[in-house]
Structure 1
Amino acid sequence: LEKVLASAAMDNKTVFITSLNKAWIEKDSIFGIFLMSFKYGIDTEWLINHLVVICFDETAFEYCTDMRTLHCYHFEIEDVDLSDEALFMTPNYLEMMFRRILVLTNILELGYSFLFSDTDIMWLRNPFPHLHPDADFQVASDHFAGDPFSPNSAANCGLLYIRSTPATIQFLKMWYEEREFNPNIHDQDLFGRLKYCPAMRKIGLRIKYLNTQYFGGICEPSRDMNLVCSMHTNCCVGLEKKKNYLKSVLEDWKNYLTLPLTIRKSNPPSWSLSQ
């Protein structure tokens, strides 16, 4: 893992992370659409050079390495098969989510900061200028409460920006260990409980929630294509539905790019978000 991170990292030891299994690479795959978004995004293509793909099975790892331009890490798991589509809240889904937290903790412990993205996110602009410079832990919002420090925002842990600090490492360990006491609860729901926990104050970690104006999704789309950085197929269950939404977002974006700059600024189009 350390070798892969060193190869992929930016000068400030930051990497872009996503995770992958066999179900997400089949024909006309979500992963392919995800990668395509970097090509069409504004100031995003360079991010591919820093993308680390955490592969949960051998098929995904081989697919990743065959692409040659990606930095691939095979997170070997002997006791469970995570290659198939993991439906929401099934045992395999929960297992995959918590194994992911484990890998992300390891990355922080190795001294690397990261922007983690689910694969069902379209990257349309460089996100880094829109991240908060004064927060070590930042998370996307299904619904944004208006104040980036307000825990009333509904967090979506499919998009995380985390700097490597003792506090963030401690929090991720706490998040993972909480599973032992709540084995049937989704990692995101556990996060929702922990953000109100008194221990948060003790470790000195302040969480900032990302504005859906820049980091939108189906739950709460960014309303302005002149500002949007990413669009997530949250509030949408099933690979086929997600795939159709992603294609719709990418087509809308490509159409936006064909418009004259004056039209883009004065009258930007809306998302069709068709199924």
Structure 2
Amino acid sequence: MQRPGVLIVLEEKFTGLAELLTKVATDDGTVIITSVNEAWARLGSLLDLFLASFKNGEGIAHLLNHTLIIAMDTITLARCEAVHPHCYLHEVTSANVSSANRFMTKSYLELIWARLEVPQHILQLGYNYLSTDVDVMWLRNPFRYINLYTDMAMSTDGFNGNVDDLKNVGNGGFYYIRSTNRTVEMLKRWRAARSQFPSAHDQGVLNEIKADLAAGELQIKFVFLETTLFDGFCQFHGEMDKVCTMHAICCIGLENKVHDLRNLAADWKNYTSVASMEKRTGKHRWTPPNRCKASMRQH
């Protein structure tokens, strides 16, 4: 799987990453990754909520040992190292990526696309990875519900009931890729396709080309994750007894995300504090993400 000649060149760009992955990866060679900038990592923002969700989730605190946080600037790296043992600096200098970066602005697009550089190298080093946005709350172990033998398993903005249907709109904020020669090539083509859709983000481009990747010579196998298990604000279910992750998608504005995720974190603490019999009644529901819904109506 590893290509020595190529990897020597890449190691000069990604100094220290290979060594770090040996410490973070699970026994089957899988790494959880997320990327943060200064706005997302500052005290009380998304990074704190993200890390707390693991600690308050059902038996998933150990997964933080296998989570690599990629910092986009040196200030963020220092903040990361103060709260998490596995941090990696991948500076983005093509635009101002330290601020909140409003959805689909130039800086936002540069940040989103830059996030694919480290994952591509992770695949080339022979590791599988699960990429999660930092505005995803982890509540239960998602690996129990992901087909780890598929090429790519993606969350969706709206699940249509068929896990194999390419008409599902994949969401790049939570997905798993198994490391093979074909998926390494797939990620290269995904990044290269940006030039065909210059105003689109990574998720939009992948949705444009995924049918070609599945039908072409690569024969990439995509699986889409049910939103009852991998929930989000777009197709909000609110079934607390089933959900593994909750993603603050369909939300404009960092403050709105933080506000609504804090409410959900409080809901989860209340839910996990009650007896098992009471949980089965189905009375416990999430607080609707009203700030985020309002932000989308105004957008």
TM-score, with structure 1 as normaliser = 0.95
Note the alpha carbon deviations across 1:171-222, whole angstroms, 9 max, x for none: 1111100112222112111111111226643201111000011100111124
Alignment of 1:266 onto 2:281: yes
Q: Is the 8 A contact 1:225 1:268 kept in 2?
A: no
> Which stretch has the larger CA shift, 175-184 or 13-22?
175-184
Q: Is the 8 A contact 1:138 1:209 kept in 2?
A: yes
| Distance of 1:84 and 1:200 partners within structure 2 | 39
- Aligned match for 1:2, one of 18, 27, 31: 18
| Distance of 2:233 and 2:214 partners within structure 1 | 32
TM alignment of 1:135-146, pairs within 5 A: 135-146=150-161
TM alignment of 1:156-175, pairs within 5 A: 156-175=171-190
CA pair 204-29 structure 1, distance change in 2 beyond 3 A: same
Alignment of 1:35 onto 2:57: no
| Distance of 1:90 and 1:247 partners within structure 2 | 26
- Aligned match for 1:82, one of 82, 90, 97: 97
Which residue in the other structure is 2:37 paired with?
21
| Distance of 1:198 and 1:267 partners within structure 2 | 41
> Which stretch has the larger CA shift, 100-109 or 216-225?
216-225
Q: 5+ residue gaps in structure 1?
A: none
Which residue in the other structure is 1:230 paired with?
245
Q: How many residue pairs end up in the alignment?
A: 274
Alignment of 1:246 onto 2:261: yes
Which residue in the other structure is 2:117 paired with?
102
The code of the aligned residue for 1:244 comes to H
TM alignment of 1:39-118, pairs within 5 A: 39-67=55-83, 69-118=84-133
| Distance of 1:33 and 1:230 partners within structure 2 | 13
TM-score, with structure 2 as normaliser = 0.88
**1:70 Cα deviation from its structure 2 partner:** 2.3
The code of the aligned residue for 1:218 comes to F
Note the alpha carbon deviations across 1:31-80, whole angstroms, 9 max, x for none: 1011110111001100111110111101011111223x421110133443
TM alignment of 1:184-263, pairs within 5 A: 184-197=199-212, 200-263=215-278
Q: Is the 8 A contact 2:94 2:110 kept in 1?
A: no
The code of the aligned residue for 1:186 comes to H
Q: Is the 8 A contact 1:222 1:231 kept in 2?
A: no
Alignment of 1:125 onto 2:140: yes
**1:268 Cα deviation from its structure 2 partner:** 4.2
| Distance of 1:173 and 1:119 partners within structure 2 | 24
The code of the aligned residue for 1:42 comes to E
Q: Is the 8 A contact 2:80 2:87 kept in 1?
A: yes
CA pair 134-8 structure 1, distance change in 2 beyond 3 A: closer
CA pair 71-200 structure 1, distance change in 2 beyond 3 A: farther
Q: 5+ residue gaps in structure 2?
A: 1-16, 292-299
| Distance of 1:91 and 1:15 partners within structure 2 | 29
> Which stretch has the larger CA shift, 199-208 or 240-249?
199-208
Q: Is the 8 A contact 1:213 1:222 kept in 2?
A: yes
**1:170 Cα deviation from its structure 2 partner:** 1.1
For the residue of structure 2 that corresponds to 1:129, the secondary structure is helix
